[in-house]
């Protein structure tokens, strides 16, 4: 028999069908040990807290302090997050001749959090500066201490000089997130959901395994099944978090993934038509890509998707955005062709001829790669213009950049294309010194320097035991 998604803990553990009778199922009442009930138990794998006093924890740790213990420097201040953000801005950084006043942890966290609101938050999106999600972020963080702690950890992760401080903040954020999930007892809290997704971002920036966090969220809130059963009255912020979860779970946007995909984007898109604030078209803000295009990318691996990507009619947007969208669809075509070549038992097809027999109208790989490199180069040049400084599209270039960079044989034949990709990479490296991006670029460089004709980004990440995000 199949497992029951809503079954008791004992039946789930033993992988048997549960009759879901409450408070204890009938099947377990007649067995030794009885029924474990329907309480929440979260799965955590060792990757969530890889350092510090929570390293290696297999279950969410309870707080070591008693309920009566007053706030200490290890706790998030009792001050609400909103008042943090509205407190007077930190003064300009002192010169080398001035001594920075010594701050306690609460004051230092406040300063780092304000810096996140000014700068760090922009690395989370690939659409535009000042979008609604940035302006309204403060309305959500008041609901969760964890989300504030994760923002602090994320900002610290961007400064390699704050190595020790970051890991302290990261462990603290993980613990607060676990506590909030346990306290919710399966009731959806948008603050905790947002904290979990931000924790994923902090983790992949630091090359800490992170997709297990998505599974913990899905397990707790039962996101594995039919999402139409969720409350249709979803507020805009929760709706946005669902979209983010879906993007993080899309195929081919995570290299070296250590967990199975949840197939969340497609199930979310089917369910959303019944919800308030349903948005069918337009641009998804994390990827910077139209939702309709993400619908096609979510089906990579199915018949006909390659042709759909080629003939996709596009949407109206700012001129520079359209170059990013073209780059994504060309990148998707190259991914499909590499996967088809990898799955084939015969010798791989010559990339100079059409890779598919389904439709002779599809161009050869050389043409697709040329179009992809051209789109990325146009985007790079455009970002140097003042009128496009409000766009965050550079954040959305990793997926197409990696897909193009994997075509070693063609790039060796066209060194000018390789040079164009190097220029794009240099532009991105100016503002992105994260460990994940450095690891990604390092893998490509190593394979290129070895003289390989074929580069498999997925295999390279898996062999290093890292989960690298390309969104």
Give residue-wise pLDDT tens across range 51-67.
443 344 433 443 333 33
Spatial contact of 406 and 369, defined as CB atoms under 8 Å apart: no
pLDDT band at 364 (very low <50, low <70, confident <90, very high): very high
Helix (H, G, I), strand (E, B) or coil at 104: coil
Residues with Cβ within 8 Å of residue 305, at least 6 apart in sequence: 296, 299, 332, 336
Residue 89 reports pLDDT greater than 60: no
Give residue-wise pLDDT tens across range 316-353.
999 999 999 999 999 999 999 999 987 543 334 444 44
Residues with Cβ within 8 Å of residue 168, at least 6 apart in sequence: 52
* pTM more than 0.75: yes
Spatial contact of 227 and 5, defined as CB atoms under 8 Å apart: no
CA–CA gap between residue 35 and residue 23 (Å, rounded): 9
Q: What is the structure's pLDDT at 320?
A: 94
Residue 306 reports pLDDT greater than 70: yes
Residue 394 reports pLDDT greater than 90: yes
Q: What is the structure's pLDDT at 65?
A: 36
- In this structure, the number of other CB atoms found within 10 A of the CB of residue 394 comes to 21
Reported as half-sphere exposure (CB side, CA atoms, 13 A), residue 459 has a value of: 8
Residue 469 reports pLDDT greater than 80: yes
CA–CA gap between residue 194 and residue 181 (Å, rounded): 11
Helix (H, G, I), strand (E, B) or coil at 430: coil
DSSP of 2-65, one letter per residue? PPPTT--HHHHHHT------SSS-HHHHTSTT----S-------TTSS-SGGGTT-SSPPPPSS
pLDDT band at 23 (very low <50, low <70, confident <90, very high): low
Compute CA distances 71 → 53, 64, 111, 166, 299, whole Å: 19, 13, 19, 21, 49
Q: What is the structure's pLDDT at 343?
A: 57
So where are the chain's domains?
291-469
Residue 182 reports pLDDT greater than 50: yes
CA–CA gap between residue 21 and residue 103 (Å, rounded): 55
H-run or E-run covering 260: none
H-run or E-run covering 283: none
Residue whose C-alpha is closest to residue 46's, from 37, 38, 55: 55
Least confident of 170-179, 274-283, 358-367, 378-387: 358-367
Least confident of 179-188, 339-348, 383-392: 339-348
Spatial contact of 259 and 48, defined as CB atoms under 8 Å apart: no
Residues 161-170 as b or e (16 or more Cβ within 10 Å = b): eeeebbbbbb
pLDDT band at 229 (very low <50, low <70, confident <90, very high): confident
Indicate the length of the chain as a whole number: 471
The mean predicted confidence, pLDDT, of the chain is 80
Q: What is the structure's pLDDT at 304?
A: 94
Q: What is the structure's pLDDT at 98?
A: 39
Q: What are phi and psi of 254, to 5 degrees?
A: -130, 120
């Amino acid at each position: 028999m199949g497992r029951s998604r809503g079954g008791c803990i004992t039946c789930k553990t033993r992988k048997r069908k549960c009759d879901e009778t409450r408070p204890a199922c009938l099947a377990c009442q007649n067995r030794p040990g009885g029924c474990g009930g329907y309480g929440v138990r979260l799965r955590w794998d060792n990757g969530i807290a890889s350092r510090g006093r929570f390293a290696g924890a297999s279950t969410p740790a309870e707080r070591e302090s008693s309920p009566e213990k007053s706030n200490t420097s290890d706790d998030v201040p009792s001050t609400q997050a909103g008042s943090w953000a509205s407190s007077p801005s930190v003064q300009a950084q002192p010169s080398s001749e001035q001594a920075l006043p010594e701050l306690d942890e609460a004051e230092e966290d406040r300063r780092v959090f304000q810096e996140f609101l000014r700068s760090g938050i922009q690395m989370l999106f690939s659409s535009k500066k000042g979008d609604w999600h940035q302006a309204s972020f403060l309305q959500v963080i008041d609901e969760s201490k964890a989300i504030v702690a994760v923002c602090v950890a994320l900002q610290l992760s961007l400064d390699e000089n704050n190595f020790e401080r970051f890991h302290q903040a990261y462990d603290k954020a993980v613990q607060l997130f676990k506590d909030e999930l346990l306290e919710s007892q399966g009731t959806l809290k948008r603050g905790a959901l947002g904290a979990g997704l931000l924790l994923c971002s902090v983790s992949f920036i630091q090359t800490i395994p992170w997709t297990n966090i998505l599974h913990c969220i899905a397990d707790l809130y039962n996101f594995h099944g039919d999402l139409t059963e969720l409350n249709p009255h979803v507020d805009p912020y929760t709706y946005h978090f669902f979209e983010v979860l879906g993007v993080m779970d899309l195929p081919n946007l995570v290299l070296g993934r250590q967990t199975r995909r949840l197939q969340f984007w497609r199930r979310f898109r089917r369910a959303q038509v019944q919800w308030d604030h349903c948005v069918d078209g337009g641009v998804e803000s994390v990827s910077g890509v139209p939702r309709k295009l993400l619908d096609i990318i979510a089906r990579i691996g199915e018949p006909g998707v390659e042709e759909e990507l080629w003939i996709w009619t596009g949407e109206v947007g700012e001129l520079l955005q359209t170059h990013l969208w073209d780059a994504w669809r060309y990148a998707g075509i190259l991914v499909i062709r590499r996967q088809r070549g990898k799955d084939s038992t015969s010798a791989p097809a010559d990339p100079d001829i059409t890779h598919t027999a389904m439709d002779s109208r599809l161009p050869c790989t050389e043409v697709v790669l040329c179009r992809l490199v051209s789109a990325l180069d146009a985007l790079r040049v455009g970002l140097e213009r003042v009128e496009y400084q409000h766009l965050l599209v550079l954040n959305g270039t990793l997926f197409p950049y990696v897909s193009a960079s994997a075509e070693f044989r063609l790039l060796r034949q066209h060194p000018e294309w390789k040079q164009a990709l190097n220029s794009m990479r240099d532009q991105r490296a100016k503002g992105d010194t994260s460990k994940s991006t450095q690891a990604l670029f390092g893998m490509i460089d190593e394979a290129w320097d070895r003289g390989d004709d074929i580069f498999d980004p997925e295999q390279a990440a898996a062999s290093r035991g890292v989960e690298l995000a390309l969104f």
